[in-house]
Structure 1
Amino acid sequence: MSQPAATAIIADDEEPMRDMLRKRLSEVWPELTIVAEAANGIEAIALAGKHQPDIVFLDIRMPGLSGIEAARMLFNRCHIVFITAYDQYAIEAFEQGALDYLLKPVNADRLKLACGRLQTRLGKQPNNIEKQLSQLIRQTTGKPDREYLHWVQAQVGNSLRMISTREILFFRADEKYTRVQTLQGEVLIRKTLKELAEELDPNEFWRIHRSTLVRVDAIAEVTRDLRGRQMVRVRNFPEELEVSRGNTHLFQQM
């Protein structure tokens, strides 16, 4: 029985670059199916959640959320290939083999080599590249990679529940408490939204409203209602979340 065709997403804020990469991929790896294209990191994360691709080709410099920041949310879900016009971006980190990179303009021979590497990894768990991504963030931003909150403690009845931040869809302020929404349901914690905003990774959670923090890779889409307000729809959750006027820059392409 033949294996199903590999799937991929291309994320680049320049449409001609997406077109060129799609064309060259069809030449060197015709069996690869491009299931979606994204113009920024936010779209890439949302589309990856929808399509569950084997591979994501990520431009490093994109508006809203960079390719490196997006990769940090995707690395354990698919294989990552960076695309960059800037060879100063810590190329030695890629050479370790946990992930790959392509320099713009993409060379056909180099693309063929990258695709060959990817084909040998298909069906295997993507390598843990957290340390490499941390190194890349330090080198490309000049900022130290600080330790952020990864677990939230919630009192549920007589027991203490530990909730991983990866399970959380969003936080919402509720007077002296904060509501924590996961796929399993909602719990209350005795920590303010202001405290959480300071302790959570700003690349993973965005404050879209003074009363709401949402996990970026839980965002399915952003739309406008009849009053012109931006509204966030979270995956597998029926209620839409309002984006305050002061935070519309987070979704600047809307």
Structure 2
Amino acid sequence: MSCRPSALIADDEPLLRDTMVRLLARVWPELHVVALARNGRETVAMYEEFKPDVCFLDVHMPGLSGMDAAHAIGRRAHLVFVTAFDQYAVRAFAEGALDYLVKPVEVERLYDTVARLKLRLQTAAPALNTEALLQQLAERMRPAAAPAALRWIRASVGQSLHLIPVDAIDYLRSDERYTLVAWHDGHGMQAEALIRTPLRELVTQLDAGQFVQVHRSVVVNLHAISHVLRGANETADIHLKRRKDVLKVSRAYLHLFRQM
């Protein structure tokens, strides 16, 4: 290992790579970032070329994932996984004793991770046995059989009870103790209703392939999206096919629209 520690950063999103470089320069100024990789294959190739001491690996990348790259690198470097996964998966990382950061990366959490890495490098501690830990992580993260997705939502509008097909829903928004359901009827007319079911409960019942959370208070039907416009500061705006409403995408969920 050289006197000056070195690192590789792997993420398929250029903005997130640049953000990590900037944060590390602030938190660990003596660290030398020797390589930036866009996918798992580049990660492995660049590791073999530069042999960095530390690798920051985005878990979800096209082709070879960050987990695949970690298998290839093994114990030859100290690994830190960067993930946008949900709370259950993050808990699996923690229980597996793997270093991880959650997107968007918080400076305080990065300070803690860097402190551990510095200690390991200073004491010449060997890298973690990632092969065994990754196997444990895969077991913990294996999804259970999912219940059938919700097909209808009951909502009262005035004196009428509506059975709203989930396919007709444009988006759902948390509204204090209620959830606003914005949908269109069979004639293409827009409609809205408040229901008592919290948004966090509805999310678990909806088809994850069709409905995605784009903000802590908003879930959108992917079939209702016309286009998405990237904005400044790692945000984006969702424009809908049947509505003038513009839905904000927060930084925590921007990774869902990387390919736009």
TM-score, with normalisation over the residues of structure 1? 0.52
2:27 aligned residue: 28
Q: CA RMSD in A?
A: 2.0
* Aligned CA distance change for structure 1 residues 93 and 131 (closer, same or farther; 3 Å): farther
Query: Alignment identity in percent?
Result: 47
Q: Does 1:10 align with 2:20?
A: no
Residue identity in the other structure for 1:55: V
1:118 aligned residue: 117
Q: Which runs of 5+ in 2 are unaligned?
A: 145-260
Which structure has the larger Rg over C-alpha atoms?
2
Task: Give the distance between the partners of 2:54 and 2:113, measured in 1 at CA.
Answer: 11
Question: Does 6-15 or 89-98 show the bigger shift?
Answer: 89-98
Residue identity in the other structure for 2:63: G
Task: Give the distance between the partners of 2:83 and 2:104, measured in 1 at CA.
Answer: 9
* Aligned CA distance change for structure 1 residues 56 and 43 (closer, same or farther; 3 Å): same
Aligned residue runs from structure 1 range 1-254, under 5 A: 4-88=3-87, 90-96=89-95, 98-122=97-121, 123-140=124-141
Instruction: Indicate conservation of the 8 Å contact 1:7/1:55, yes or no.
Output: yes
Q: Which runs of 5+ in 1 are unaligned?
A: 144-254
- The Cα of 1:52 is off from its aligned counterpart by 0.6
* Aligned CA distance change for structure 1 residues 89 and 8 (closer, same or farther; 3 Å): farther
- The Cα of 1:125 is off from its aligned counterpart by 1.4
Task: Give the distance between the partners of 2:26 and 2:96, measured in 1 at CA.
Answer: 24
Residue identity in the other structure for 2:56: F
- The Cα of 1:74 is off from its aligned counterpart by 1.2
Task: Give the distance between the partners of 1:96 and 1:79, measured in 2 at CA.
Answer: 18
Task: Give the distance between the partners of 1:132 and 1:117, measured in 2 at CA.
Answer: 18
Residue identity in the other structure for 1:81: V
Task: Give the distance between the partners of 1:140 and 1:95, measured in 2 at CA.
Answer: 12
Task: Give the distance between the partners of 1:97 and 1:133, measured in 2 at CA.
Answer: 8
Runs of 4+ residues deviating >2 angstroms: 87-99, 135-143
Residue identity in the other structure for 1:131: A
- The Cα of 1:82 is off from its aligned counterpart by 0.4
The count of corresponding residues between Structure 1 and Structure 2 is: 141
The higher relative CO (CA closer than 8 Å, separation ≥ 6) is in: 1
User: SS of the counterpart of 1:131?
Assistant: helix
Residue identity in the other structure for 2:41: I
Task: Give the distance between the partners of 1:91 and 1:132, measured in 2 at CA.
Answer: 14
Task: Give the distance between the partners of 2:72 and 2:8, measured in 1 at CA.
Answer: 15
Residue identity in the other structure for 1:101: Y
Give CA deviations for 1:198-240 in whole Å, capped at 9, x if unaligned: xxxxxxxxxxxxxxxxxxxxxxxxxxxxxxxxxxxxxxxxxxx
Residue identity in the other structure for 2:70: A
* Aligned CA distance change for structure 1 residues 80 and 43 (closer, same or farther; 3 Å): same
